[in-house]
Amino acid sequence: MAKITNEMIQQILQHVGGGRNIKQCGNCMTRLRLTLHDDQFVDKAAIKQIAGVLGVIESDDQLQVVLGPGKAQAAADLMKQMLESGEADDLHDASATQDLTEIASANKQQLKKKQTSAVHRFLSKFATIFTPLIPGFIGAGLLMGLASLLTLLSANQNLFPADSTQLEHLKSLIAYMSVFGKGLFTFMGLLIGYNAQKAFGGSGVNGAIIAALFILGYDPAATKGFYSGMTDFFGWYIDPRGNIIGILIACIFGAWVEKQVRKIIPASLDIILTSTITLLIVGAATFVFIMPIGVWLFEGMSWLFMHLNGNPIGTAVLAGLFLIAVMFGVHQGFIPVYVALVEAQGFNSLFPILAMAGAGQVGAALALYVKAKKGSVTRSQIGGALFPGFLGIGEPLIYGVTLPRVKPFVTACLGGAAGGFFIGAVAWMGLPVGLNTVFGPSGLIAIPLMTSDQGVLPAMAVYAGGVLVSYLCGFIFTYLFGSKNVDLD
C-alpha cells in the first residue's frame, strides 16, 4: 500500500478546497477526519483516486478519508504541520480554484438527494462513539477468548495435575490474559461517555465524568465497586441501573447543555465556568430523571425476559432482545433465575437460548465480511473480532462491527431470534436442553457443557443446531437487508 507522503497530503488538501477550508484536522485508528468550513468544495471522486486512499465517508459535519490502520495518525500529523506552517494555504492551483464553483454546484445537487433527516444525523454521530474503541475491543476480546480455551484445558488433570507447577503457571497466564477484558468492560462506560459527549458537540472529559456517575456505588456497605461518598441526592434515592443506555442518554443531554451554557458564558470565563455549570446541571438531571428512566427500562426488560421463557415465540423474543438487555445491564439480573433453573431442572435451560444472540452476531459479521471489498478496513476489523465471537465473547463484534453500523446489529438480533426459536421449539417438543452449571461460556466452547434429561449427546446436538441456525439466519438477514447503505470501506 502507498506510504503517507507530502505529495499525498497535498493532493488531499487540493481536493478539499485548500488549507483555508479546514477548520479542524484529526484522526481515529484508520481515518483522517477533517472538519471543514464549507464541504461543498470537496471533490470526493478525486480524493478516492489518490494512491493510498481506501475510501471517503461523510459523517454529518466531518469528512473522513479512510487510509487504513497505522496511517491515519501519520497523515494527520503531516497535515497539521502543513496547516501550521501556512504551506497548505497555497496548495490549490489556479485550475483547481476555477473548478471549485463547479464542484460546489455538483455537491449541492448530491446533498438534495442525500438523506439529511435528524435520524440520519443522529446515527452518523452514534457510529463515531464506538469506532475509536474497536482496537481495544478486538484485542481484549481475543485475549478473553484464548483465556476461555485455556480454562477448559486446565480442567484436564491428565495434562495439568492438581497442585502441579504447570497448573499454577497456567492459572497465572489465564488471569493475566483475562485482566485486560475485565478492565475494559468494567470501565467501558467512561470511554463511551467520553466519545458520546464529544460526538454530539460537547467536551469528552465531561462525558467521562457524567458516565462515572453510573459506575460509582452509592451503598457504603457494598463490598464491590467504588463508593461515591453519597447515599442519596438531597433525599432522592440513587439507583444507577441502566448502564450503557443511561450513559448515552445522559451524555447526549450533557453535550446539549454544554453548548447552551457556552453560548451565554463570556469567552474569558469559558474554561472556568462552562464545564462546572454543565456538570452541576447534568448531574442533577441524571440522578433525578435519567437514572429513574434507566431503572424503568431495566425493570421492563427484566420482566420481559422472566416471562418469555417457555414457548418458541417467547424464546425467539428472548434471544432477539438479549443483546439489548446486555446494553441495559439487565443480563446480570438473570443469575438468580439461572440458579433457580438449575435447582428445579438440574441444568440452566435459559442460558443456551440467550447464547443464540451472540451466534447471530457472528453470522451478521460473516455477511459483512463477504460484502466488504478485499483488503478493506471492514474486513480487517471483522477478522480480528470473529475468533472471540466464535468462542462466545461478543463485545468486539457488537461494539466494533455491528452496532456502529446499526442495521447489521438489528439483523444480527433477528438471527439470534431464529436460533432461540429453534431451541425453544425442540424444548416444546419434549427435549429441553441447558448448561450443566449455573453460568459458563457461550459460543462453540459451550457445546461440551450442554446436558438434558435424555443425556449429553442430544443436548450437544440441539445446542449446536441452534448455533448453526443463528449463524445462517444472521448471515442471510444481514446479506439481504442489513448491508445496504452501510459503511463497508
Which residues carry out catalysis? 28
Q: How many Cα atoms sit within 13 Å of 402 on the Cβ side? A: 36
Dihedral over Cα of 154, 156, 158, 163: its sign: positive
Grid cell at residue 465: 443446531
Helix, strand, coil shares of the chain as percentages rounded to 5?
70, 10, 25
Residue type for position 156: N
Residue type for position 261: V
Grid cell at residue 312: 418458541
Report CA Rg, the chain: 25
Give the Cα separation of 101 and 32 in Å (integer): 25
CA–CA distances in Å: residue 426 to residues 7, 144, 326, 350, 466 = 63, 31, 25, 13, 10
Picking from 60, 198, 52, the residue whose alpha carbon sits closest to that of residue 133 is 198
Give the Cα separation of 296 and 211 in Å (integer): 19
How many CB atoms neighbour CB 133 within 10 A?
22
Place of cell 425467539: 316
Dihedral over Cα of 307, 312, 317, 323: its sign: positive
Query: Contact 251/128 with Cβ under 8 angstroms?
Result: no
Backbone torsions φ then ψ of 51, nearest 5 degrees: -60, 125
Give the Cα separation of 204 and 191 in Å (integer): 9
| 106: Cβ contacts below 8 Å, ≥ 6 apart | none
